[in-house]
Amino acid sequence: MAGAVGCQSAPESPSDESPQTSSSASTHSPGPLPYPETRRQDVTDTLHGQTVRDPYRWLEDSDDEAVQAWQSKQDELTRQYLDDLPRHDALAERLRELYYVESVSAPMRRGDRVFYKRRPADAEKGIYYWRPADAASSEAEVLLNPNEMGGDQNISIQGISPSWDGKKVAYMVSVNNADQATIKVKSVETGEVRETDVIEGGRWASPAWTPDSNGFYYTHFPTDESIPKAKRPGKADIRYHELGTPPSDDEVVRGSTGNPQTFIGVNLSHDGRWLLTYVWHGWNRSDVYYRDLEADDPSWQTLVEGEEYAYNVEVWNDHFYILTDEDAPKYHLLRAPAENPSRDNWTEIVSERDEGVLENISIVGGHVAAKYLVDAHGQLELFDPDGTSVRTVDLPGVGYVSGLSGTPDRETGYLAYESFKQPRQIYELSVKREGTETWSQLDLPVDTSDLEVEQVWYDSKDGTQVSMYIVHHEDMAMDGSTPLLMTGYGGFNVSLQPYFNESMLPWIRAGGAFAMPNLRGGGEYGEKWHKAGMRENKQNTFDDFIAAAEYLVDEGYTSSDRLAIRGASNGGLLVSAVTTQRPDLFRAVVCGVPLTDMVRYHEFGPAKIWIPEYGTPEKKEQFQYLYDYSPYHHVEEGTEYPAFLTLSSASDDRVHPMHARKFTAALQWATDSIDPVLFRLEREAGHGGADMVKKRVAKDTDTLAFLMNELGLTSETPEWPLEEE
């Protein structure tokens, strides 16, 4: 998901939809904690004939001193409460042992150099390194170290893009891990960073270098404060930056769409001939345009436009390889000659399969590396350029696979693999030879041999079969007594796959279990699965999650008073929605950087790009289904809500923090339960949280201590260590 930071004032409304405001104080403040006083106002809108109440609209303005004071007081209360919980300090110690370990990312080879990210065990942030391709890892040189950047500022690196000759690196820098970034270019040999190559507006930039390494194409996101933040996605364009020239002189090679519901991207073929741009309409529709840079008239041509499908294109050996769900909801791969890639010349080379979603492809060593999702876990298969299967890559088991990364002209690529029981490992693979070699692995002080992983299927409300992973100790009792934490997402075509989560190890060792259903709205089972949980079908996502909880209770995995749920971003919308719909089903909720006000979400930051996924309240029919599940608008006074912990980030420029503030205020006012409703503010953090280990330890410690306390995992539970004694 994507968006921008700060408060966006409400737009001008038609006369029958104008806000009406009057002052009205409330004295209703039940609960066990002395919550900060929260002003409640009589603010209403009339939308499509419906009266919509918004008593906490004043909490939308992040720049308002009263709002800042409110969230600071809330955070202070929360941290005092959490610090005093049983096992808090022991948890922090254990998580430090698990988190402060060395980790390495998959490498990239460019020219005669290899680039990768490594975080030493004692470092807060990952450091980017480079070394000669034929040198040992011990000979690596530091390229970028965010731990030593910025002085008083918390500087984050959002990614790097090395030039093809390996002599320069474009990298994206942000403050507090926010999405908004600045592009800089560094010489690998000299370390020089020239001011002429500092480019503002580097959000979603994805620099694509030319083969001569003299410049790159990139997406430029506007930073002009005169442009309302809600309109900025529609003002993004594609530019070319030639090294050593002022960014103000950068050529606009593809103009903006003018539509804030779209976002635009760029790619350049490995040989530098074919320039492609994408216009994405949400997460399941794209237009693709191309330009032959070697042609006498290198004008833009349309590959596909106006269709209701997604298209991703890789170019190799004078052919376009087109991955699409057109006529294939689980995706298939087509090929067309680059000289004339019109639809008449599209040929299917890898067909849609009944079992498995063709999630993505890359061209490595002249082969097509295809990443499949089969029952919500990864598989990797190699094909010849004509679509003939070469082999399926052997993997350690059911897990999460990051697709093979490499270049079309080198036979060696790299993939990352992890599972619920195995930390991430990086494998080196030759497309011409069988087998893989371990390039790097994450070693943790744990033994996971006594963990059991199940995949079950259950019926949702409408009878749809939904899959779910359950992780627990092999000796777990099936009598409903196990504290269980369930998480989900269910949106934006995102697929939840088996992943290694260090924070779950103390939880499971202390007697808990973990569950992860694959909800409609995600991409686990193809585009039909995605569409079944978006826009007017969004309630299916919530029904799937509720049905998963009911299954876990009915089958004896847990009980409602031992069941907690957690979700973030779109997953925060999920857990806040089911909290208002079924407060009786859950004992505790952790809700991170959520959307909760679905009537006004589109007016903040770049949230209009989510309209294709959620719909717009500006249209009557879409307003109705958005309002019908909007969590903020369905908090009811006098309801016994479960214990609730909201996690918000001060520098979140993707999902506006107003959602977290308003929903917390509403719950604190309405709940008739003695259970706490808490608001935790993470400073120096963006939508994805803080990128420092110490802050991750602190947040996960608070989260686990909260959940353990609410679900009864206290001093009488087993000791932590999962290692063999």
| pLDDT tens column, 395-424 | 999 999 998 889 999 999 999 999 999 999
**pLDDT greater than 70 at residue 9:** no
The whole-angstrom separation of Cα 480 and Cα 553 is 7
Tell me the per-residue pLDDT of 633-658, one tens digit each, with 9 for 90 and over: 999 999 999 999 999 999 999 999 99
pLDDT level of residue 134 (50, 70, 90 thresholds): confident
Tell me the per-residue pLDDT of 672-700, one tens digit each, with 9 for 90 and over: 999 999 999 999 899 999 899 999 999 99
Q: Specify which residues 647 forms β-bridges with.
A: 592, 680
How far separated are the first and last CA of the chain, in Å rounded?
43
pLDDT at residue 717 in the model = 44
Residue 329 corresponds to which tokens in the numbers above?
């909801």
pLDDT at residue 483 in the model = 97
Mean pLDDT of 428-455: 91
**Residue 656, C-beta contacts closer than 8 angstroms, at least 6 positions apart:** 3, 5, 7, 8, 60, 62, 601, 604, 605, 607
CATH numeric code, 104-346: 2.130.10.120
Q: Can you give the residue ranges of every domain in the chain?
A: 15-43+55-96+446-711, 104-346, 353-443
* 630, 599 Cβ separation under 8 angstroms: yes
Residue 505 corresponds to which tokens in the numbers above?
């190890």
Tell me the per-residue pLDDT of 337-353, one tens digit each, with 9 for 90 and over: 999 999 999 999 999 99
β-bridge pairing 311-316 and 301-304: unpaired
pLDDT at residue 245 in the model = 97
Which of 707, 697, 679 minimizes the C-alpha distance to 75?
679
Give residue for tokens 């299927």: 457
- Mean pLDDT for the chain? 92
**pLDDT greater than 70 at residue 12:** no
**pLDDT greater than 90 at residue 610:** yes
* 565, 486 Cβ separation under 8 angstroms: yes
**pLDDT greater than 70 at residue 439:** yes
* 338, 276 Cβ separation under 8 angstroms: no
Tell me the per-residue pLDDT of 238-262, one tens digit each, with 9 for 90 and over: 999 999 999 999 999 999 999 999 9
* 365, 431 Cβ separation under 8 angstroms: yes
Residue 309 corresponds to which tokens in the numbers above?
């499908």
pLDDT at residue 714 in the model = 64
Residue 440 corresponds to which tokens in the numbers above?
């790097």
**pLDDT greater than 50 at residue 26:** no
pLDDT at residue 649 in the model = 95
The whole-angstrom separation of Cα 375 and Cα 377 is 6
**pLDDT greater than 90 at residue 4:** no
Q: Specify which residues 346 forms β-bridges with.
A: none
Give catalytic status of residue 28 as yes or no.
no
**pLDDT greater than 80 at residue 3:** no
Q: Specify which residues 117 forms β-bridges with.
A: 128
Pairwise pLDDT comparison (528 vs 21), residue with the higher score? 528
Give residue for tokens 């994405």: 280
**pLDDT greater than 90 at residue 217:** yes
Q: What's the pTM value of the predicted model, to 2 decimals? A: 0.94
**pLDDT greater than 80 at residue 161:** yes
| Residue among 419, 569, 630, 649 flagged as catalytic | 569
Find the helix or strand (DSSP H, E) in which 620 lies: helix 620-629
Mean pLDDT of 166-192: 96
pLDDT at residue 690 in the model = 86
| Residue among 367, 472, 659, 687 flagged as catalytic | 687
Give catalytic status of residue 377 as yes or no.
no
3-class DSSP state for residue 530? helix
Tell me the per-residue pLDDT of 187-209, one tens digit each, with 9 for 90 and over: 999 999 999 999 999 999 999 99
Percentage, residues of the chain above pLDDT 70: 94
pLDDT level of residue 125 (50, 70, 90 thresholds): very high
The whole-angstrom separation of Cα 219 and Cα 607 is 18
On the CB side of 249, CA atoms within 13 Å amount to 8
Which of 281, 251, 250, 249 minimizes the C-alpha distance to 265?
281
472: left (phi over 0), alpha (psi -120 to 50) or beta: beta
Percentage, residues of the chain above pLDDT 90: 89
pLDDT level of residue 445 (50, 70, 90 thresholds): confident
**pLDDT greater than 70 at residue 433:** yes
Mean pLDDT of 374-387: 97
3-class DSSP state for residue 413? strand
Pairwise pLDDT comparison (31 vs 13), residue with the higher score? 31
Second-level CATH architecture of 15-43+55-96+446-711: 3-Layer(aba) Sandwich (3.40)
Mean pLDDT of 355-374: 97
On the CB side of 667, CA atoms within 13 Å amount to 31
pLDDT at residue 349 in the model = 98
